[in-house]
Amino acid sequence: MEFVLNDEQQALREMLRTFVAKEVRPKAGEWDASAEFPRETVAKLGELGLLGAMVPEEYGGSGMDMVSYAVAVEEISKGDGSLGLTVASHNSLCTAHILGSGSESLKRKYLPELASGRSLGAWGLTEAGSGSDSLGMRTKAEWRKDRWVINGSKMFITQGNVAGVYVVLAVTDRDKGKDGVTAFVFPAGTKGLSVGRKLHKLGMRSSDTAELVFEDLEVGPDAVVGQVNSGFRDTMKNLAGGRISIAALSVGIGLGAMREALAYSKERVQFGHAVSEFQAIQWLFADMGTELEAAELMTFRAAFLKDTGRPYTREAAMAKLFASEAAMRATIKAVQVFGGYGYTQEYPAERYMRDAKLCEIGEGTSEVQRIIIARDVIRSH
């Protein structure tokens, strides 16, 4: 078994560490305070090929493997969880759905714009009344004469305000349940699409999140991603890969918080000693380091399985579950290392803690991951 990154992956990691140190970490606190989407920095990530990470070169992407993509999300998230989430959601949801299920014409129409970052992608599944119960969605699409007409709304949509391309799930045959949902793609500015309220969040504040509303939005038959009524099953495949990116996001946030706490613990003097010399503080770092390294290994294992064409749904759920909860524990410990200063916005520890919480919720809550894992464990034994 090989536990080291190859030369190309290591070079990617080093390049992004330099980029994050210069372009991300000094600005992350300001982005968080203003809840402003960092358009210029996102555009630079597009120039680096990070917004078309796994898109094949024939469609203008970087053609990365999943392990390399996980490395990229982790490194960006060490500097800013919001920016890491932008990269993860853009690549793993909207873009990945078109890449995995779209027709050749849809791929050629949308992927070059998405891969370059000239357009950002938004993906609409969740609604105000249906989160984990995704089949409870109310948004519907009806076939009228020669086109589909979509009505309804979506909630908690990442890039909702800033996207150029939207992939949206809608019920097309309610009687068929999971076999009655279809995915549609359309550009920003399509008549009938409006962006509702921008959501103000506990964390990930500079990641754009909004409500979408559809009022008699019309698209032709060529806007269907995949097949009519195949949208839900395609979505479940899509989410399995997306969970690997959320695991990487979690690891990055946790390691970023630990890095800040380590630096502070060596500078902060109490009772004549740096607090890093006290055993109680050292044990916090021992727990953080152990859990985050385990989380990273689980994440890379799931990514490797996906890269090699092996089953990975359970492993992705395990990685997402463990990494998100490890990140939450690590960021809480990081705040503790800072003491009273950790509870203020003078230091970034509290931002990492707020950002980490989303990882236990987004792309399937921890409870949903446990259901997925338990079902597979029981079935396989």
Cα–Cα distance for residue pair 125/183, rounded to 1 Å: 9
CB within 8 Å of 215: residues ≥ 6 apart: 151, 192, 194
Six-digit token string for 30: 């300001």
Cα–Cα distance for residue pair 292/77, rounded to 1 Å: 14
Q: What are phi and psi of 151, to 5 degrees?
A: -135, 140
Are 356 and 250 contacting, i.e. CB atoms less than 8 angstroms apart? yes
Six-digit token string for 123: 């993906």
Active site residues per annotation:
363
Q: Which letter, b or e, does each residue of 60-87 get, where b requires 16 or more Cβ atoms within 10 Å of its Cβ?
A: bbbbbbbbbbbbbbbbbbbbbbbbbbbb
**Residue among 255, 226, 272, 238 at smallest CA distance from 323:** 255
Q: What are phi and psi of 75, to 5 degrees?
A: -65, -40
Give the type of residue at 277.
Answer: E
